[in-house]
Amino acid sequence: MTAAGATRDLNPEIPTEDLANFFTSKKVPPFWKNTNLVLQDDLPESVWSYFDRLESMFEQLGVTEDRYKKRLVTEYVHPTRLKEQWKRLPAYKSGTYEQFKTVIMSFYPEIRSLTEGSVENLQRIMSMYRGILPREHQKLMNLIKGVQEEVSKIRDWEARNDTTILTEQQLVGEFLNCLDTSFRNAIQIKLTAMYEQSKQLERMKKRDKGKAPAAGTSAGAAGGEGDNPQEEDEADWLGGGDEMYDPITLTKVVPVLYKYNLNRVIYVAQLVSREQPENVMVSGGDPPFVPSANKGKNVPSGFANDLAAALKALGVVVPQQPAGMQTHSASQKGQSLPPGILPWTPLGSGMGDSKPAKVKSEADDNMLGAILGKMDSFAKDIKSEVGEIKKGQSAMMMEMEQRIEQKLDRKIQDQFNQFKQMSARAAVTGSDGDNTYKPPARRFATNSGPPGGFSATPSFARAPGQYGYSTGTWGSVNNLECWFCKQPGHSVRRCETRDDLMRRQIIAIEGGNYRVIPNNELVIPIADGQGEGTLKKIERSLEKSGHKNVLQAVQEVQYVQEGPVPPELHWQDEYGRPTNSRLAHEITQIKEMLVQGVVQPNRLPEPAPEEPPVTSPPAGVDARQWEQFQQFLAFQNQQGFP
């Protein structure tokens, strides 16, 4: 057949006798009588469902011709514009039905996620359900329905591409995250009991291996539906067989839970949900056991059996139940159940005996007492360990405090010794002849005369203790005045005018004095805070030499008077090195944080109260020496040189 003939056979719009007879036959439903088959909109889900309905109709009518199928696809499209778009596709006239369908499906990328599934869709479904309680049956079934559908699509894609993108352990973990804590605990106990029963059954099989079955055994003993439970392949519902499981201990209960596959966990979740109606539901994170408060109520016996098996696996000794206690009805003894599935009678269903099973309060009390005893032993061990840790931390804190105090004492003593040495030298060179502190004289050099002379000894005109940290804490600086620019609120070391002149290279420090660079003249700064200030002397020097315009840029700057300088600015010297006050403050903060972390681990440390000013000398220090020490600190702060 030629290419033109093949195209003619695939084109649904070319009228032929067989095509006309097909659409006039009674088998093809007319457009106006098939509202359920018609495509009403252009949504991806609607298009996907539309092709699914059409292909079902093709199968029922026995339609195999490609052009018949393509004609029927466009026949039941209600939106006229959409129908015209599909008919204008090249695959409609020259392609097969599968090619035509593939082109249409490519216009709707969301259909691929509906048919193939994706991890994003699975995560979106699971994010819609959080904290499901065992009594919320409908919400649980909605989650199971969506998860199983999406996982099935993902598994099909993995089979076609020979790869794995989701493991059973990941699926089980994500599924359990959608459940409440009490629900997860109940599933864990149920799976633990099922595993113990399966192991017990396996041990019985190994013990009886090699023994021939006696004549006249029942069908159940031979594997049929008799008195014995039905046997199933353990590898179908375990995560890989016996070799993946070790003997269960207290620390290995959760890992065993995550080694079951998703289908088994979903199956057990449905069992637990049915076994825990609202009248016996335990809320919160408590384990799903039946408390003694339910004495006389109808409760499922599966709880007591599951909990007993789980406690046995955890090493908790539980007293035996009385001989007369009924665990399940007589009608349940002949049930054929898989390994690990315990007998269960729905509440209020009327099935089984007329008297449903009851749990005696004595057994509940014994079981609860065993659990509480085990928990008390754990609590005692934990308390003893915490006590040892606290003792060790207390010893470490005491040792750390002692080291810090010794270090601070050495620093303070070294500084005080330095002060006494300087005071002694000043007493030797002073004119009074007594032990009064005299600040060191300034050394200067001029262009004329012998260098190395000394200026007059400066004197103090202010009371000691008013220059910031000289009182021990941040004191008042309202009366502090800079000896350089005669502005209040700062000292020479923090004078912005002085720093600006040095940055502009108008002045430079030379031998304890200021070198005026434009006229190369040396200006001696004031040493007692009296008079007009060093800046005025520099201005007069520039005026005499005709360089007054040099200070115009500086005079145009508006220096705003600031308030008291915060302590942080006084915690480092002019070279950026931390001062002793800053070190002591940081060490105190660290010590308080460590103490608060030991006493109250989950509470932030309280802010340290403000320390009162030091107005009196420490113990063991002479008052006269203390006053001289304050004068020494005040004078050091006003010096603008290293």
Q: Which two tokens stand for residue 642?
A: 């290293």
Q: Any idea how long the chain is?
A: 642
- pLDDT above 50: residue 568: yes
- In the chain, the percentage of residues whose pLDDT exceeds 90 is 2
The string of pLDDT tens digits covering residues 327-366 is 444 444 444 444 444 444 333 344 344 444 444 455 556 6
Task: Write down the mean pLDDT value for the chain.
Answer: 68
Q: Which pLDDT value is given to residue 245?
A: 40
Domain that holds residue 57: 3-116
Nearest CA among 622, 457, 493 for reference residue 565: 493
Answer whether residue 628 is part of any domain.
Answer: yes
Among the three residues 116, 147, 174, which one is the final residue of a domain in this structure? 116
Answer whether residue 290 is part of any domain.
Answer: no
The three state secondary structure string of 64-110 is CCHHHHHHHHHHCECCHHHHHHHHCCHHHHHCCHHHHHHHHHHCCCH
Q: Which pLDDT value is given to residue 601?
A: 59
Answer whether residue 239 is part of any domain.
Answer: no
- pLDDT above 70: residue 67: yes
For 387-396, 477-486, 500-509, 565-574, which range has the lowest pLDDT when averaged over its residues? 565-574
Q: Which two tokens stand for residue 438?
A: 């005299």
Q: Which pLDDT value is given to residue 313?
A: 56
Answer whether residue 511 is part of any domain.
Answer: yes
**SS3 for 509?**
strand
Q: Quick check: pTM over 0.75? A: no
Name the residue with tokens 């200006």.
523
Which tops the pLDDT comparison, 400 or 233?
400
Among the three residues 66, 81, 116, which one is the final residue of a domain in this structure? 116
Q: Which pLDDT value is given to residue 170?
A: 86
For 108-122, 229-243, 304-318, 564-578, which range has the lowest pLDDT when averaged over its residues? 229-243
Q: In terms of DSSP H, where are the helices of 276-360? A: 302-314
Answer whether residue 529 is part of any domain.
Answer: yes
Answer whether residue 124 is part of any domain.
Answer: no
The string of pLDDT tens digits covering residues 581-591 is 777 778 888 87
- pLDDT above 60: residue 263: yes
Q: Residue 384's pLDDT band (boundaries 50, 70, 90)?
A: confident
d(CA 82, CA 636): 91
Q: Which pLDDT value is given to residue 349?
A: 40
The string of pLDDT tens digits covering residues 421-476 is 766 665 555 444 444 444 443 333 333 333 343 333 333 333 343 333 333 333 33
Q: Which pLDDT value is given to residue 636?
A: 64
Answer whether residue 324 is part of any domain.
Answer: no
Look at strands 521-523 and 513-516 and give their pairing. antiparallel
For residues 559-575, average pLDDT? 53
The number of folded domains in the chain is 2
Which tops the pLDDT comparison, 572 or 213?
572
**SS3 for 90?**
helix
43 contacts: CB under 8 Å, gap ≥ 6: none
Q: Residue 517's pLDDT band (boundaries 50, 70, 90)?
A: confident
Answer whether residue 315 is part of any domain.
Answer: no
Q: With beta carbons less than 8 A apart as the criterion, state whether 488 and 529 touch.
A: no
- pLDDT above 80: residue 26: no
Among the three residues 83, 116, 149, which one is the final residue of a domain in this structure? 116
Q: Which pLDDT value is given to residue 428?
A: 55
